[in-house]
Amino acid sequence: MLRLPCNYGVSSITKVKNGWHCLAGRKREGIISKHLVHRSLASSSLPIVDDIKTSHVHLNETVPSPVTYVHSSLSEGLISYPRGWAWQQSYLSQRLAALRNQPQNDSNHYVEDHDDDEQHPNHDRLLLFQHEPVYTLGRGADESHITFLQNDDERRHLLSRKVRGPGTARLTFDERASRMINQESNFKSRMTTIVDQMADAACPVLAPDGTPVFRVERGGEVTCHLPGQLVVYPLVNLRQSPFQQDLHWYLRMVEQVIIETLKVYDIEGTRDEEHTGVWVGEGKIAAVGVSSSRWITTHGFAINISPDLSLFDNSLIIPCGIEGRAVTSIERVLKDRSVSNKIPSLQQVATDTVKSFETIFGVHTKSGSVLN
């Protein structure tokens, strides 16, 4: 067995039988079978899986990769975080229902004739958003990292890992919504209706400037989404080729997508041995926090292009739970080089990110419907 430090850049509700296990609590050690770690990553400091439940899967089963549909809301302007989250959960619910309905001996079957059917549940997807300002806490986040709440025990309690249900700050996908989405007809219309309902969720915890704060099921600590930041949510099946059934491999590949995208603008992004994400010098330029259910990934990464970095100030949050480290952006890096005329638009970075995703993962993409 290989012993790795427990970090919260990845979370999962999937467990390989006799596969991996993570001891509860921050900074404890987890145990993971060697065959789950890609050989090239075995010597690096990797995050391990959090909040595991059992799912029976077979490590050596792979199937051909379907087309990856790219759904962007960038042309529609800003989208609220609950709305983007609801789109993820709706597509995930549809795909999990399709997996449950597949015959046991047909779990690897994929019909390529469905490549042109955008609504087919087997498709991998990339969701591209620019969110309205929001703070989110992942599974590993401590409420103390929301520094503006240090003297507000009542609102901190609403963000607790242990608190669920109405009136809390945890986003929860209603099972009734899941059943409605997975009825047999008018899928897109039903999904839009559910997303509309979920997007109206009230937030009981607000920052001093009115920015909402939510706890969600992704891995990672505390972060901020805001205008000027590209947020990418890949919903991919890690059991399908060309992916690998290994969340740590997936996390490192996502980081490589970001690194390759930054190269387009002559920016050298690097990994940190202790923390997830991508860094330029001492500044974090992109945050990564993923989750998975039955090896279908959700959540993803955020690249800072030209956001208002004051929202990451330590008087508000401890970004990613890391004290003493700054947050940076493409704009700041290029301005420091006196090449502010080369700052790319958010749409340009989105286009380059999709290309990098295709290259790094070896997939092909198609434009999907606009999400709003």
| Sheet strands (E) in the chain | 2-5, 21-22, 29-32, 68-72, 124-129, 134-137, 213-215, 222-225, 229-235, 278-280, 283-293, 296-304, 326-327, 365-367
pLDDT at 175: 59
- Quick one: which H or E segment has residue 3? strand 2-5
Contact of 262 with 304, CB cutoff 8 Å: no
22 catalytic residue (yes or no):
no
Question: Pairing state of beta strands 124-129 and 296-304?
Answer: unpaired
pLDDT at 323: 66
pLDDT at 98: 86
Inter-CA distances, 222 with 138, 249, 326, Å: 6, 23, 14
pLDDT at 117: 76
pLDDT at 7: 38
CA–CA separation, 284 and 270 (whole Å): 9
Express each pLDDT in 162-200 by its tens digit: 888 878 888 887 655 565 655 555 666 777 887 887 777
pLDDT at 195: 85
Inter-CA distances, 195 with 23, 89, 162, 199, 302, Å: 35, 9, 25, 6, 22
Nearest to 1 by CA among 44, 48, 36: 36
pLDDT at 186: 64
CA–CA separation, 171 and 152 (whole Å): 21
Contact of 57 with 294, CB cutoff 8 Å: yes
Residues 6+ apart with CB under 8 A from 282: 325, 326
Residue 172, helix vs strand vs coil: coil
Residue 145, helix vs strand vs coil: helix
The residue annotated as part of the active site, out of 6, 22, 203, 320, is 320
CA–CA separation, 133 and 176 (whole Å): 29
CA–CA separation, 10 and 18 (whole Å): 19
- In the β-sheet with 222-225, what is the strand arrangement from edge to edge? 213-215, 134-137, 222-225
Contact of 353 with 55, CB cutoff 8 Å: no
User: Considering the entire predicted model, what is its pTM?
Assistant: 0.80
pLDDT at 87: 93
pLDDT at 178: 60
Residues 6+ apart with CB under 8 A from 179: none
Low-confidence stretches of the chain (pLDDT beneath 50): 1-8, 13-62, 107-108, 111
The token pair that represents 19 in the structure block: 């596969």
pLDDT at 102: 73
Residue 237, helix vs strand vs coil: strand
pLDDT at 43: 31
Q: In the CATH scheme, what is the homologous superfamily, with its name and number, of domain 57-367?
A: Bira Bifunctional Protein; Domain 2 (3.30.930.10)
The token pair that represents 300 in the structure block: 């993803």
Phi-psi region of 270 (alpha: psi -120 to 50; beta: other; left: phi over 0): beta
